[in-house]
Structures are given as structure tokens and as C-alpha cells.
Amino acid sequence: MRGLRLLSLSVATALVRKHRQRRTSESANDSQHAQRVSTDDGRRGRDADKPAQIPLAGWKDVFYRIKDEVSEDNISVVSAGVAFYGLLALIPALAALASIYGLVVSPSAVQSQFANLIGIIPEASRQLLIDQLARISSAPNTNLGLTAVGSLLLALLSAMKGAKALIAAANITYDEREHRGFIKLNIAAFMLTLSGILFTILALGLIAAFPIIIGYMPLPGGLQPGLALLRWPVLAVLLIVGLAAFYRFAPNRTNAKWRWVTWGSVLATALWVIGSALFSLYVSHFANYNKTYGSLGAVVGLLMWLYLSAYVILLGAEMNAEMEHQTARDSTICNGAPIGQRGAYVADTIGKSKTKR
């Protein structure tokens, strides 16, 4: 495992170095290009104040650049690194989840609600997570003493590995360099980790409470099951909001306006739901990881699902970045700062046109 960590770190370092060199070499060209582009070119959306104002020709530019950036940013390899660190952070995150949510519900309730929440992932991987959560929940020391608080903090700090990997990946997709200090970066990673756990607790509570609330409503019996299904669209909306917040706050740049991070979060959520369902179907009916990898089959399936999740999240980030790159208007919270003084690479430069007029 130590060798895998060193190999992953070496690959990540090489990718970041290559990414920085590419950005440095392109910065001057992008600045000259920005001066040549007419900011009132409405045919390509250079004057767009929000994504909905980008015309069809502009969207062609955006999608052409997304295709190029996915390759140049090595999103496939970066997603693999995020998945690896996500796997390392998963068990500590489950421990933190059990510690916090277990304060208000029983261990059995935590396990059953968690099983409903992750029903979209492959069966073997789902059972692996449920078994791990059952093992953690059944452990003693559920009081609120110093030992329990210390264990919770240790679990959160261990789970930060995945959050740091996501932050590094977000910087790559937004063409940013990480120059936050050690303390600020770790605070950001800690808040991202804690937010993810609290989001999971909120989702678990919604799964448990929604049918109960509907049961108390004076509704016809045939209508209640249909309304109970509304919890899943509500969860999807919460996921969209959570991803939008990640795209806005994780990269080391001036925060983008909310309207410039929402479209990518909608795309990532839709692709994640569809991709997870198709991957689960593929594993259940076509692939046999247990036959190929033996006892590691469930772990490999989980790692592949984490890779898929990381890939669609970064794809949403690429979409947001290239939408900002399409307009000359200020897409950050600087409120009209001139180009070059906005504190964000994709807002301070204008993406090149990839199609003919």
C-alpha cells in the first residue's frame, strides 16, 4: 500500500508540473488573444452575463475546448488518483458518519438507511460498505467523552485525504495553482470533508423522515407511495447544490458567481446517476470482478465506481471553467473588475474559438 501511495504521489506531482508548464506557456498567448477578441461579439457569447446567454456557436466553442481540456488535463489519470485517495478516506469517513449520526439514531437504523442511500452502486461493493459500517457501529465507546471526540477528530483528519485530492483536481480543471498556506488548505479540506459527511447525514435523515411525514398527512392511501418517491428528486437537488458549492469554493481562485457553477453541477449529477445505474447493471449482469480478482472483487468494483464518480465531477468542473472562459464579462464576485484583475485564470482570459463563424 505504501508503494501505491508513492507511485500515486509521483504521478500526481508529474501531472501538476506538466500542467503548470502548459499554463505558463499559454498565459501570454491567451492574454494576446483576449486583446484581439471583440467583447461585443454576441455571435459567440463574448458578452454573456450568464450561461443561458451563450448562443449555439459559443456552445460549440465550449464543448470543443472541453474535449481538448479533458485530454490535456489528463482527467482520466487525475480521476484515478482521486479515486485512490477517496478509497483510503472512505473508512475513516464512515467512522465519522457513524459517530455523528449515531448520536441521534440507533446503529441498526444507520445501517438500514445507509443501505438505501447507496443502493445505486454494485451489490458486492454496497455490501462491503454496509459490513464496514456495521463493524464500526457495533464498536463500543459511544459516549461523548474525550476519547470519543478524539476518535471523531482523528477520523475526520484521516478522511481529509480524499478532500485534498478533490481540491487538487479542481485546481487542475480550473487551471489554477495552489498557493494557499498549509493552514488555509487544511481548513478548506476539513470543511469539505465535514460538509460531505453532514450532507450524507441530511440525505439519510431525508430518506428516513420523508415517508413518515407523508404518513401523517391526510392523503389517499394510493397517493402516499408516489409522494414518497419525491425524496429522490429532492436528494438530486441537494447534490446539485453541494457540487455547485464545491466548484465555487474548492479551487484556489476568486469565487465564481453561482450561475457559472450551476450548469456543471447539473451535468455532473445527471451523469453520475445515469453512469452509476449503468455501471451497477454492467457489474451485475456482464462483469464478474470476483471471478477475475477473487476476494478483491468488491474492492475493485468500489474503486471503479469511485473513479466514475470522480470523472463526472471533474467533467462538470471542466464545463463550468470553459463556460467562464467563453465570456469577456466578469464571472466572479469581483463585480465588474477588468479582465486580468479578477483573480481567476478562466475569468481573466478568453477561450479560443474552435469553430469557424
pLDDT at 147: 56
pLDDT at 357: 45
Q: Determine the Cα–Cα distance for residues 318 and 177; give it in Å rounded to an integer.
A: 16
Q: What is the pLDDT of residues 14-42, one digit of tens each?
A: 555 555 555 555 544 444 444 445 444 55
Q: Determine the Cα–Cα distance for residues 261 and 249; give it in Å rounded to an integer.
A: 10
pLDDT at 221: 62
In a domain, 246, yes or no: yes
Q: Determine the Cα–Cα distance for residues 289 and 291; give it in Å rounded to an integer.
A: 5
* Number of compact structural domains in the chain: 1
In a domain, 311, yes or no: yes
How many beta carbons lie within 10 A of that of residue 235, not counting itself?
A: 19
Q: What DSSP character marks residue 332?
A: B
In a domain, 294, yes or no: yes
Nearest to 248 by CA among 327, 329, 174, 351: 174
As a whole number, mean pLDDT of residues 120-149 equals 74
- In terms of C-beta density within 10 A (0-12 exposed, 13-18 middle, 19 or more buried), how is residue 346 classed? buried
As a whole number, mean pLDDT of residues 281-287 equals 81
As a whole number, mean pLDDT of residues 258-265 equals 97
Q: Determine the Cα–Cα distance for residues 321 and 174; give it in Å rounded to an integer.
A: 6
In a domain, 170, yes or no: yes
In a domain, 13, yes or no: no
pLDDT at 43: 77
As a whole number, mean pLDDT of residues 302-315 equals 95
- Whole-model pTM? 0.84
In a domain, 5, yes or no: no
Q: What is the pLDDT of residues 72-122, one digit of tens each?
A: 999 999 999 999 999 989 888 888 888 888 777 787 888 888 888 888 788
In a domain, 70, yes or no: yes
In a domain, 22, yes or no: no
Percentage of residues of the chain with pLDDT beyond 70:
82
The region of weakest confidence among 27-36, 137-146, 237-246 is 27-36
Q: Determine the Cα–Cα distance for residues 310 and 316; give it in Å rounded to an integer.
A: 10
pLDDT at 231: 79
Q: What is the pLDDT of residues 160-173, one digit of tens each?
A: 989 999 999 999 99
Three-class SS of residue 256? strand
Nearest to 234 by CA among 202, 268, 278, 263: 202
Which structural domain, as residue segments, surrounds residue 98?
Answer: 42-211+220-348
Q: What is the pLDDT of residues 313-347, one digit of tens each?
A: 999 999 999 999 999 999 999 988 999 999 999 99
